[in-house]
A = this chain, B = another copy of it.
Amino acid sequence: MASYRLFYWPQIPGRGEFVRLAFAAAKVPLPEVNDVGKLVALTSADGGVAGHEPQFAVPVLEVQPERQAPFYLSQTGNILQFVAKRFGLDGEQPGVESDVTHAQVLQFTLTGLDWALEAHNVHHPISVALYYEDQKPEALRYTQAFVHERIPKFAKHFQAALTLNRQRHNVRRLVGTKTSVADLVLFQVLEGLRFAHPRAMQRLQDSGDAADLEPFRAELAEELKEYLGSARRRPFSDGLFRYYSELDL
């Protein structure tokens, strides 16, 4: 049995939350290192942890196998794919080869993370090294495309996926018969968008174009309620998903 630690920023849910949800769903402990100095050292372009692959950015997962040296993994979709196989969050589909199922789960995982990245770019369209206040005109322009085109496009895509998989397996999940990391990503993106763009998300719901997304979100919230009700669940603030009234519909 391996043990794990998450290296991520203090306080914010951010991209670390996708990893936390996978561990919460699998009921596997995930202690965290939130010391900014250690995070900067780990992701330093000049080497990171001596003897280990360099990590471009957090979240970074430390994997400590029994009786072997620890190793480090980053890229959120990659971490999720890795733990999904170990924790049974990999979207089992009766009669489908596991490499095909894993690819379908990774595909929806990456598309969900793309949606989250665009939600981040709403308040940081020019540079992550500048404050939102230093890129407000660009953020306002980006918002128009995001709320009018991109939210509906992503939402309809996931609606189509939920519809197809329900026809196959009579369950409201993206791939196969049970909750996978792709579902956890979609859940967290929907939570974040409700926080950051409440008016745009209300309009989406009223349109009926993606009618399964809200019941999907509610089902996942029920499944994860122990974690979501705990002190480990961090509230949205000024991370990946941010609420600025002028950046909503």
Q: B54 and A164: CB pair below 8 A? A: yes
Q: Which residues of B contact A244 (CB under 8 A)?
A: none
Interface positions of A from 101 to 129, Cβ below 8 Å from B: 103-104, 106-107, 110-111, 114, 125-129
Separation of A51 and B164 alpha carbons in the complex (Å): 7
Separation of A48 and B52 alpha carbons in the complex (Å): 42
Partner of A53, one of B56, B142, B164: B164
Q: Which residues of B contact A224 (CB under 8 A)?
A: none
Give the nearest-CB partner of A175 in chain B: B53
Determine how many copies of this chain the complex contains. Answer: 2
Q: B106 and A75: CB pair below 8 A? A: yes
Q: B160 and A111: CB pair below 8 A? A: no
Partner of A107, one of B74, B149, B175: B74
Q: Which residues of B contact A169 (CB under 8 A)?
A: none
| 10 A-B pairs with least C-beta separation | A45-B156, A127-B145, A54-B160, A75-B110, A78-B106, A82-B103, A75-B107, A78-B107, A56-B111, A138-B138
Complex A-B: 21 CB contacts under 8 Å:
A45-B153, A45-B156, A45-B157, A46-B160, A53-B175, A56-B111, A71-B100, A75-B106, A77-B77, A77-B110, A78-B103, A78-B110, A81-B106, A85-B99, A125-B125, A125-B138, A126-B145, A127-B142, A129-B145, A130-B145, A138-B138
